[in-house]
Amino acid sequence: MQKKDDKRTKNDKLVKHKTIASIVTPLGEGGIGKVMVSGPNAFTIVNKIFTGKGIADLQNAVNQKLYYGYIHDKGQRLDEVILHIIKKEGSFTGEDIVEINCHGGIRVVMRIYECLQSSGAEGVPQDALLQQSFENNKMDFVQKEALQAVVHAHTKLGVKVLLDQHAGALSSALRQGLEIIEGIERAFLKESWYHGAIIHTDQYRGEEKSLIPNLAREGREALLNEKMLSSLENHIRCLLETASLGMALTTPQVLVILGKPNVGKSTIINAILGEERMLVHHEPGTTRDYVSELISVHGVPFEIMDTAGIRDTEDILESMGIEMALEQLQRADKVMAVFDNSRPFDQEDAEILSALSSWSKKKNADDLHQNVNTYKIIPVVNKCDLAARLDRKKIESAVTQPLYSLSARNRDRLEDLKERLVGELDTTYKPMRPIVFTRRQYCLLAKADVVVKQAKNYLNTGDKTCMISGLIDELKKIFTACLEGHGTINIRVETTR
Ligand SMILES: Nc1nc2c(ncn2[C@@H]2O[C@H](COP(=O)(O)OP(=O)(O)O)[C@@H](O)[C@H]2O)c(=O)[nH]1
Ligand SMILES: [Mg+2]
């Protein structure tokens, strides 16, 4: 069993007060490489392998100063380096830190890393530095998750939002939630007391019955009422509503473009990308396999996939592409189905609609939160600069979403299409706005939502009110788990994505 102050999560080992070394720059060819040493013996360990100009012992180094010198291995110079000294009082790990800035390249960096290990530091992946910081209470678990996610952020909006969460935006909203819960707990205890008093009087001093309701009324302001639970429910709902943006920012949504050959799929992607990156051809079937690109639409990343349509074909290469299109469809978070305004609706278009319908059915079955489904299918009528020969009614009767008419060649109404792609998300940046950005956080809050609704129900019906204190306790545990990263194992609630 873990001790109370043991902040290990399931997969992390405790690194508090250990001296650890980690390569923090990517291993590869580059100008500069950096290895960080953090822990109580950081200075003594680096002392063993460093000869510096104007400094004999790093214990005497000045905080936040740079020191020039050499790293050596068994008397041989290994590299010319600049050390950055950060004493534990001001360091982000809460331990003494030596940052060794050396020349880039795999060999040099690896040798310094190995030297540090043979001098007594424990070699660890860079995430362990965040773990150490977390264990030393320099950040909570949500702040740690945010910093881990920043590394993988694809857009400027993603970085800004995640840095805000690292600075504590979501953490303070969670603490606020905890305060509401504690208020509820206090009120509930009080109510139980009053309730107890009433029963007691009823049983033993029935004659004084009339005094007691007055007493209860006096305390009523402080009593647990539906309002308090509703305010918690509201708080949780507001947080849950941010999850689709948060998760869209951290994990690019897969957008598959579907349509028979030559409807202009590649042209649409090129137009969104703003450059002629993809092969566009007037002969049907040019895109023989799928092409994937990362794009940013209003700061939200998408992995956009062009496909070869899904028509029957005898051409082996093309049919491989078609198979892949169907395969990619399984991965899709959103599908853009493209139709050609200048050609009549035909069998191939009908097949697209039927593929779309089976995809949508499957998606609905997997997805408990169907409110975002309206945004998952985007039917597009392209080539609206040409005379209309397409029977739109056939498409309109098969999909519930409004059709988007555009001309990719003329880049006409492209902005509307982009708006539509991020339609369900509030992408305006508001500084320090709390945003739920991991599945873990989402699952915990979704569970809290279920629990608070249950408590409200018991309170309203007056049924099983004795259960409420257990539920309050559970809510407290969930919020604490969200902030501290433990106790998540038994909580399983379906998510939107
Ligand atoms: N007139 C017109 N032609 C278009 C439009 N979009 C694409 N095209 C043309 O249609 C042909 C096929 O386009 P492409 O993007 O390769 O289609 P895909 O097979 O669906 O990827 C090319 O000659 C494009 O220039 C449009 O909006 N209007
Ligand atoms: Mg194409």
Question: Which residues are near ligand 2, the ion (C-beta closer than 5 Å)?
Answer: 265-266, 287
Lowest mean pLDDT, pick from 44-53, 172-181, 266-275: 266-275
Q: Note the Cα 135 to chain centre separation in Å.
A: 22
Inter-residue contact 421 to 378 (CB < 8 Å): yes
Q: Give the per-residue pLDDT at 222.
A: 41
407 in ligand 1 pocket by Cβ < 6 Å?
A: yes
pLDDT at 200: 39
Is the distance from the beta carbon of residue 385 to the nearest atom of ligand 1 less than 6 Å? yes
* Rounded Cα gap, residues 382 and 284, in angstroms: 15
Q: What is the pLDDT of residue 323?
A: 59
Judged by phi (left if over 0) then psi (alpha if -120 to 50, else beta), residue 62 lies in beta
- Separation of CA 284 and ligand 2 centre (Å): 8
pLDDT at 195: 55
CB neighbours (10 Å) of residue 281? 11
Residue 305 has pLDDT above 90, yes or no: no
- In angstroms, what is the span from residue 283 Cα to ligand 2's centroid? 10
In the predicted structure, residue 343 carries a pLDDT above the cut 50: yes
pLDDT at residue 487, rounded to an integer: 52
Q: Is the per-residue pLDDT at 322 higher than 90?
A: no
| Position 490 pLDDT exceeds 70 | no
How long, in residues, is the chain? 497
Ligand 1 centroid–CA 376 distance in Å is 24
pLDDT at 492 (0 to 100):
43
Residue type for position 98: V
In which element (H, E) is residue 450 found? helix 439-461
Kindly indicate the confidence band of residue 7, based on its pLDDT and cuts at 50, 70 and 90.
Answer: low
> Mean per-residue pLDDT for 340-364?
90
Distance 273 CA to ligand 1 centre (A): 15
Pairing of strands 300-306, 291-297: antiparallel
Report the pLDDT averaged over residues 9-22: 78
For residue 249, pLDDT over 80 is answered with yes
Q: Whose CA is nearest to atom 10 of ligand 1?
A: 264
CA dihedral sign, ordered 49, 37, 5, 127:
negative
Q: Whose CA is nearest to atom 14 of ligand 1?
A: 264
State the ligand closest to the CA atom of 321: 2
**How confident is residue 360, by pLDDT bands cut at 50, 70 and 90?**
confident
Tell me the CA–centroid distance for residue 409 and ligand 1, in Å.
7
Ligand in nearest proximity to the CA of 262: 1
Top mutation candidate among 275, 310, 409 for ligand 1, by most atoms within 8 Å of CB: 409
342 DSSP assignment: T
Enumerate residues 6+ apart whose C-beta is below 8 A from 319. 312, 313
Q: Output the CA 263–ligand 1 centroid distance in Å.
A: 6
Q: Dig out the tokens for 11 from the structure.
A: 């997969």
Residue 392 has pLDDT above 80, yes or no: yes
Residue 358: the pLDDT is 86
The answer to whether residues 69 and 51 touch, using CB atoms and an 8 Å cutoff, is: yes
Determine how many CB atoms are found less than 10 A away from the CB of residue 208.
Answer: 10
Mean pLDDT, rounded, for 292-318: 73
CA angle 205, 210, 211 (to 5 degrees): 80
Confidence tier at 208 by pLDDT (50, 70, 90): very low
CB of 480 closer than 6 A to ligand 1? no
Q: What pLDDT does 123 receive?
A: 97
Tell me which of 23-32, 297-306, 316-325 is least confident. Answer: 316-325
- The Cβ of residue 494 has, within 10 Å, a number of other Cβ atoms equal to 11
Q: Which two tokens stand for residue 90?
A: 């001001």
Q: For residue 175, what are the CA distances in angstroms to 171, 227, 394? A: 6, 19, 52
Tokens of 38: 């953090």
pLDDT band for position 213 (cuts 50, 70, 90): very low
Q: Indicate whether residue 266 lines ligand 1 (CB < 6 A).
A: yes
| Ligand 1 contact via 270 beta carbon (within 6 Å) | no
Please give the pLDDT value at position 346: 95
pLDDT for 294 equals 85
287 Cα–ligand 2 center, Å: 4
Which of 280, 338, 413 for mutating ligand 1's site (highest number of atoms within 8 Å of CB)? 280
| pLDDT per position as a tens digit, 122-154 | 999 999 999 999 999 999 999 999 999 999 999
Q: Residue 284 in contact with residue 261, Cβ under 8 Å?
A: yes
Whose CA is closest to atom 2 on ligand 1?
Answer: 383
- Cβ distance 405 to 384 under 8 Å? yes
- In angstroms, the Cα distances linking 264 to 164, 240, 342, 389 are 40, 37, 11, 16
Q: How confident is the model at residue 308 (pLDDT cuts 50, 70, 90)?
A: low
* 423 Cα: distance to centroid of ligand 1 (angstroms): 25
Percent of the chain with pLDDT over 70: 79
C-alpha–C-alpha distance, residues 105 and 121, integer Å:
21
Which ligand 1 atom is at minimum distance from the Cα of 406?
27
**What is the whole-number distance in angstroms between the Cα of residue 411 and the centre of ligand 1?**
12
* Residue in the structure block whose two tokens are 């639970």: 229
The predicted structure's pLDDT at residue 431: 97
Rounded Cα distance between 131 and 122, Å, is 14
Buried b / exposed e across 110-127, counting CB within 10 Å, b at 16+? eebbebbeebebeebebe
Q: What is the pLDDT of residue 4?
A: 47
Q: Is any atom of ligand 1 closer than 6 Å to the C-beta of 276?
A: no
Q: Cα–Cα distance between 176 and 479 in angstroms, integer? A: 10
Q: What's the whole-number mean pLDDT along residues 237-249?
A: 95
CA distance 407 to 385: 6
Query: How many Cβ atoms are within 10 Å of 207's Cβ, its own excluded?
Result: 8
Determine what percent of the chain is predicted with pLDDT higher than 90.
61
Round the average pLDDT of the chain to a whole number and report it: 84
Q: Where are the domains of the chain?
A: 20-138, 170-242+434-484, 252-421
Ligand 1 atom 19: the closest Cα is on which residue? Answer: 262
Is residue 25 within 8 A of residue 33, CB to CB? The reply is yes
Kindly tell me if the per-residue pLDDT of 223 is higher than 90: no
* Ligand 1 proximity of 409 Cβ (cutoff 6 Å): yes
* 353-368 average pLDDT score: 80
CATH 3.30.1360.120 fits 20-138, yes or no: yes
Could you tell me which residue, 308 or 296, shows the higher pLDDT?
Answer: 296
| Res. 218: pLDDT tops 80 | no
- Dist. CA 379–CA 371, nearest whole Å: 18
Answer whether 38 contacts ligand 1 (Cβ < 6 A).
no
Binning pLDDT at 50, 70 and 90, where does residue 274 land? confident
CATH number of 252-421: 3.40.50.300
Looking at mean pLDDT, say which of 5-9, 119-123, 263-267, 276-280 comes out highest. Answer: 119-123
Q: Is the CB of 262 under 6 A from ligand 1?
A: yes
Is pLDDT at 206 greater than 90 in this prediction?
Answer: no
Average of per-residue pLDDT across 239-262: 93
Instruction: With a cut of 60, say whether residue 231 has pLDDT above it.
Output: yes
> Taken in order 344, 350, 352, 357, is the CA torsion positive or negative?
positive
Q: Which of 256, 258, 260, 267 has the most ligand 1 atoms within 8 A of CB, as the residue to mutate? A: 267
pLDDT for 422-451, tens place per residue?
A: 988 999 999 999 999 999 999 999 999 999
φ and ψ at residue 66, rounded to 5 degrees: -100, 140
Residue nearest to atom 23 of ligand 1 (CA): 282
Q: Can you give the pLDDT at residue 219?
A: 43
Helix spans in 279-429 (H): 316-331, 347-366, 392-396, 414-421
